[in-house]
Amino acid sequence: MVNQRKGELAVVATMTDHTDSAAVTGPPAHGHDPIVVTLGETVGRYQVRRMLGEGGMGQVYLARDVVLGRSVALKIVGPTTGAGLHTERFLHEARAIARLNHPNVVQLYDFGEYRGGLYLALEYVEGGTLRERASHGPLALDEVLRHARAIADGLAHAHGHGVFHCDLKPSNVMVGKDGRVRVVDFGIARTGENAASTKSGTPDWMAPEQWLGAPASDRTDSWALGIVVAQLLTDGHPLGDTVEARRDAVQHGARPARWVPARGDVPAAVIDLVNRALAHTPSERPTAAEWARVLDVAILDGRADPALDDGPFRGLAAFDERHARFYFGRELEIDAFLERLRDTPYLPIVGPSGAGKSSFLHAGVIPRLRAREPWTVIAIRPGGDPIGALARGVLGALADHGDRKAQVQAFRDELIAAPTLLAARLSTIASVQRGKVLLAVDQLEEAFTHGASEAERAAFLHMLAVAADDPLDPVRVVVTVRDDFVGKLAGLRALFVVKKLGVDDVRRTITAPVAREGYQFDDPAIVDDLIAEVGVTGDRTGNLPLLQFACRTLWDGRDPARRRVLRATYREMGGLAGALARHADHALAELSDDERRIARQLLLQLVVGTTRRSVPRPALGHGHVLDRLLAARLVVQRQAGDGDAPIVEIAHESLLQTWTQLARWVDETRDERRLLDELLDATSLWERRGRR
């Protein structure tokens, strides 16, 4: 095993893991004379900082690239003696591996000769191996499928460049702290030019052709991937419990009956994939690309909700758990967030308005957590009474009965008197439910914009900060908050920034939901037009809701008979820029003059400054016109709590910037609304003080 500091692992190609079954490999360790490197010494352009580990083929150091200023894992192999390593062959393999550039393959930055030996500068990553992650028992199905999907993607890329790994195993797959899976250790990799010599590898994962010395191919890695997936799912080897049984199955084709996992949640397609991968004849095994396709379907099917039939796009509404199967584009960010959440008990999700923070939490993070472990999710929005919202959420999770309003008020008072009581109640829920608890606070900025007093707001933020402060406890607190409010959150030790989607990610958010429903664009250039309009190369992060709205409009105008999304619909709606504004203007045009005047009044009541205001429905009145605005998706209504009046708000803040009519109304009434805001704040304070 490579020696390493706790919690730290350098991704190192060419390192043999001796903790698996004894490795069968070409050059023996004693064929190398070690090169002694002192700390501070420069190898090539890499300054050695400290040793990370030592394996059968050399030493590994943490080093710094003095030209680019980045950390690397520096692998140094000593000069050869006798029948040891052939330098030219090693450099040939290094050149082949250096051509690989894929998120799921460790990157080789540089290589060269040094003092008669060789050095390789590789990507340095913190994290742990799949072997370490699975050491506590079988992983959750969703986690196994996603890890296997990433491995298959990385292998498919390597195979496409004529590189075969030939030593794939759990200890050669790493999950970084950024959540990304990387295939590592291409030390005995083969290319098409030397694939005939394959009698090397680690016995438990070696394919029949490796034992026989037959030529290697991409299907050699498919065999190993089948074993890895089976091990991750069952914590056992699919070819038997003993070394002898496995050897007979591999060398003589005496494999046991069809592999069927003891657990009942594994899709039939995945079971079939593993069994096909263990075929004695290489040509009968699936390719890495086929692995990826089958696993992709299995992952998506695991999120399917057959009762859901309202389309793959959410318009101006945020994605929720029910629509998780249509949520695409932020998969790598979700992986990174989940890794951070392992040891960060309180983690805010930060981004500008319209960046998709709510969707990221509800359709990305929460479904993935539930797929891995039993989680009790308490999801709230602060509104004007954030402590009351906490009280309702916690009591709902405890399933208390009786006079709910009285209980909420009593618990609210208790929380104000003893803020640490929230942590105790969340721990109680975790214990009762025998799982973990996630307190998910969406749109935390409402605590600042919806009339809560400064004292209540401070108490609320303090409760969140102390509710989860130990990584070993089964409680996590996640909040979403606009980036312009982060400065108001004192004492933050960590945060997660939702990044602006790149071109490829935006393309996936458009095309993947359509493909998921079995549709195609009649003109693929529609996607390019939408991407250009959303401004992915500029600073327009908040345009994602507009993109979703445009896609929803396109979807509503689809051709079900031909299963096509139409260019004609795109032309009619005026593209992304005109879709929402035209929709809003059209909705107003359908109202009478009196109804339009009332709509103006209603919409202005839902604006405070330059942001939305959430208002209880009874306070708005004018039910008929309000229902018309709701039907047009210009405003949305949500339930505040048991027995409380529903809350109404403008569908999205982007309407304040893109809808010319509303912007004009806001500007015309600026002074009046400022006075109204002051009166509303005073009224709220008067009511909280008992109307004295």
- Which positions are annotated as active-site residues? 167
Kindly provide the residue ranges of all beta strands, DSSP E only, lying in 514-613, ordered along the sequence.
520-521, 564-565, 607-608, 611-612
Token representation of residue 685: 């304070």
* Residue among 72, 78, 77 nearest 108 (CA): 72
Residue 425 neighbours by CB under 8 Å, 6+ apart: 394, 398
Token representation of residue 261: 């996992």
Q: Is the C-alpha dihedral spanning 155, 161, 164, 168 positive or negative?
A: negative
DSSP SS3 for 351: strand
* Residue among 441, 360, 349 nearest 393 (CA): 441
How far, in Å, are 14, 59, 105 from residue 3 at the CA level?
15, 10, 22
DSSP SS3 for 65: strand
Longest CA span, the chain: 96
How far, in Å, are 170, 174, 187, 425, 599 from residue 184 at the CA level?
10, 7, 9, 44, 61
**8 A C-beta contact, residue 437 and residue 376:** yes
* Residue among 658, 661, 616, 659 nearest 641 (CA): 616
The helix (H) or strand (E) run that includes residue 124 is none
Residue 57 neighbours by CB under 8 Å, 6+ apart: 14, 15, 16, 27, 29, 32, 77, 85, 187
The helix (H) or strand (E) run that includes residue 123 is strand 117-123
Q: Torsion angle, CA of 191/195/197/199, rounded to 10 degrees?
A: 90
